[in-house]
């Protein structure tokens, strides 16, 4: 066995009678197994059978995926148009197998679907995953990279505002008296809240549930959530 296509085994040296052969290829590439026959009278065949086979022990590395439209995998975005790209692994390659679905660990097949390093799609609301793996010139597929994309086009409902210090539609407190207001979010994916009193300056409210202290003023006041 060697790397030459037409080697003729010698008529001297070790001869085996078994019809199987075991050997180890030591490098990637095309190898050849050469078999020559000898009869009981010691006559050798003038030619040999040559079996070519390919060895590929080096898998393409996993591509590194990024997205200009949805760069942070931990965030949700309103935009539905996904634009993604990846860096070609070194020492590679014939192309890539790509899949887009809602399963986090999908492994694409070993069929080259594109030679480009960019991908675009229009998504619906929800959590999506882009999966990319390289396929080398020998048809060997490498490790898969996964990229998470979250699309959220549904606005949260209005928060609920309550206060025991200043109950709704009731007179309470006095000028200069602090009041605590509780703001309850509608849903679990709210990133932030704002409030303002009587059309004043908007102020951010943590979504951790921290109370808001306001100085009371005489009269009827409005506290709209936003």
Report residue 54's pLDDT band, with 50, 70 and 90 as the boundaries.
confident
What's the pLDDT score for residue 140? 85
pLDDT recorded at residue 79:
95
Cα gap 61→132, rounded to integer Å: 11
Q: How far is CA 61 from CA 19, 106, 107, 143, 188, in A?
A: 39, 17, 14, 6, 38
The three-state secondary structure class of 31 is strand
- Residues 166-201 have pLDDT tens digits of 888 888 777 667 777 777 776 667 777 777 777 778
Quote the DSSP letter at residue 95.
E
- Distance of CA 94 to CAs 106, 115, 137, 196, Å? 21, 7, 5, 59
CB atoms within 10 A of CB 89: 18
Cβ neighbours of residue 14 under 8 Å, at least 6 residues apart? none
pLDDT digits (tens, 9 = 90+) for 108-148: 999 999 999 999 999 999 999 999 999 988 788 999 999 99
Would you list the domain boundaries of the chain?
1-55, 64-151, 157-215
State residue 226's pLDDT score: 44
pLDDT at residue 92, rounded to an integer: 64
What dotted CATH number matches 64-151? 2.60.40.10
**Burial class of residue 123, CB neighbours in 10 A (0-12, 13-18, 19+):** buried
Q: What is the pLDDT of residue 50?
A: 96
Q: Model pTM greater than 0.95?
A: no
For residue 190, what pLDDT is reported? Answer: 73
């Amino acid at each position: 066995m060697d790397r030459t296509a037409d080697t003729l085994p010698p008529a001297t040296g070790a001869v085996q009678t078994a019809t199987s052969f075991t050997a180890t290829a030591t490098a990637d590439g095309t190898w050849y197994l050469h078999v020559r026959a000898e009869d009981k009278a010691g006559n050798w065949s003038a030619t040999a059978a040559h079996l070519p086979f390919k060895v590929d022990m080096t898998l393409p590395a996993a591509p590194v995926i990024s997205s200009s439209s949805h760069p942070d995998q931990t965030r949700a975005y309103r935009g539905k148009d996904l634009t993604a790209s990846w860096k070609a692994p070194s020492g590679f390659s014939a192309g890539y197998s790509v899949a887009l679905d809602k399963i986090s660990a999908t492994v694409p097949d070993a069929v080259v679907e594109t030679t480009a390093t960019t991908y675009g799609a229009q998504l619906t609301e929800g959590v999506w995953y882009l999966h990319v793996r390289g396929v080398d010139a020998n048809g060997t597929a490498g490790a898969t990279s996964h990229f998470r994309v979250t699309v959220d086009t549904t606005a949260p409902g209005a928060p609920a505002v309550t206060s025991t210090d200043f109950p709704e539609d009731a007179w309470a407190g006095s000028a200069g008296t602090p009041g605590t207001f509780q703001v309850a979010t509608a849903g679990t994916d709210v990133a932030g809240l704002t409030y303002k009193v009587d059309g004043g300056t908007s102020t951010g409210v943590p979504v951790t549930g921290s109370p808001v202290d306001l100085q009371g003023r005489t009269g009827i006041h409005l506290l709209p959530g936003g």
